[in-house]
Structure 1
Amino acid sequence: MNLRLALAAVLTVVTFPALAAGTDPVVATVNGKEIHRSQLAELQQSAPQLRQVPLEMVYEQLLDHVISGQLLLEQAKKQNLENDPEVKAQFKDAQAQIQQMVKDAQIQILQQVYLKRRIDADISEDQIKAKYEDMKKNMPPQEEVKARHILLETEDAAKLVIADLKSGISFEDEAKAKSTDAASKANGGDLGYFGKQENVPEFTEAAFKLKAGEFSQTPVKTQFGWHVIKVEDRRPATPPTYEQVKQSIKMQLGQQDAQKIIDGLKKTAKIERFKADGSPASDKIKN
């Protein structure tokens, strides 16, 4: 069993410090042994793929896993497996791996904290603002369109909608009556303003070919179905505000600064490189 999974299994049967009944309720009992909600939350956090999922969505699966683990633990203890030579050997190996994991984590934390403090000291608010202004100057002109759409399941259904629009039925009413897009149907198919990078290519290409007031004369096929599109307005895109991009700019500057810091440390350090087998390198490699 993978060590991390094994640790997760162990955590599910460990008794955690008692919390107030309202915050850590008993969610099951197994032969009199209480299982608390906190044990399920701990197990969920040990599985990266479940961390962003609401606990309620995986509650039954997690609870069943914890109950199964408790039953297995009871049987193992009944057989006194804690004193079994095989178990002791695996415990010893696991302890060694855990100690190494802790050491590795300590090293990473030290490296990250040092680098973060150096970067924070190097990068000022003025530098971030200057980078933002430079980004705006070099940003190519962008355009946005304000559009509505009607999503249909078939091409023939989309053609009938286009015929209705040509006969004078309002686009908004047609969208409310026939669109299968639940997100925009109630608003008459309104999608608001969007740029060229914000929709699938086929939809974007068709929308940006239309002038304000025009609707597509042929159905537009995308992975979602068949669309009829109407463009209501076109305008120059507004550049993102400083606050919207501040963190991404800071991250970009930080990555550049981190490399400079590391390069500087290499220049002042005495570093000797060897081949993968430990033998001397035939050619000297500069730091």
Structure 2
Amino acid sequence: MRRKNACFDFSATLAFSSFTRCFWANHERNSTRMLRLSRISLRSALIGGLVVYLLADLSLHGPVGHRLALLRPGSPDSIAKAKAEGVIARVYFQPIHRSQLERAIREKGCPPEQALDELIDDALLRHRLENEKGLTVTSAEIDEALRRFSLKFETPGALATALKAEGFPNESALRERLEQTILLEKLITRHTAEATKVGDDEARAWFGKHAAQLATPERLQARQVFLATLDREPAEAKQKLDTALADLTAKKKTFEALVAELSEDEGSKLRAGDLGWMTRERLPADFVLPLFALESGKPSLIRTKLGWHLVEVIDRKPVAPADFEQMKAEIIAALGAKKKSVAIARFREELRTGAAGKIEIFKDAQ
């Protein structure tokens, strides 16, 4: 009987222990589940509160909304900030500052509207360059550009001073600018080269239309003895030159001697009175008409508003027709330059058309 009671007590104890473990295990699982649910609810509440705050901030233009607006280049806040920083225009959201415009006006001496147009065109070219493939610049090309640029200055010191004044801290910065310039030139050439070609037939046709204007006009070479009448009576000046002409005709004095003795034109006096080769277009009417009417080798007096001239025509050359072969290279270069100017203008206009809506001008910031 005692053994049965002992077995019963042990079984009861074992059952109670098992029940206890199950109870606490379920309790722990329920507690963990409740804690997890509590955390999820708290996280949801926090996220919900944050969303509500952000929505309210954005709708009421709060600090977060303001910062986000500044990140959008086209937003009113971003535009206002740009204007406050001296931005007067933007091309693909890249700024053009008032200081750039002022510098362009100062350097080019053009109206503000023209200067701004050129700055916008330059910005469009740079944007196109960033998206252009296959354009490169060698070190040799930059070296040559730097050499040509340096020739503008008498000494290295003058070059260094100019670079500092233009905002270049060192030669490397200048080389970067020259590289950019060369790339832009290559970009323009790539898009305009075909339109700037000039063939022989085109050059010859242009020559045929302008042959008369291209002809070398009649020329003569003369020398003079000059007496001014600004501070002298005209009659006195004429009398002196009449005497000089008589001495010259009688071969008492040479023309060179008379120039050295009497002439008041310091320029020609240094050359024994020689005026060089002249055309009608280069001379005043009161001098050219009687001068070209003279016979070569026969000294004569001419009166002008400046004074009296003892003049002798030394040599004369008639009108010389232009020669196409001699002028061919010059004509092709001139026609090519004209075509290039038109092609560049057309290319720039194409860039502007393609940038519709990407060019912003802030007139109230200028």
* TM-score (norm. length: structure 2): 0.39
* TM-score (norm. length: structure 1): 0.47
Higher helix share: 2
Q: Which has the larger radius of gyration?
A: 2
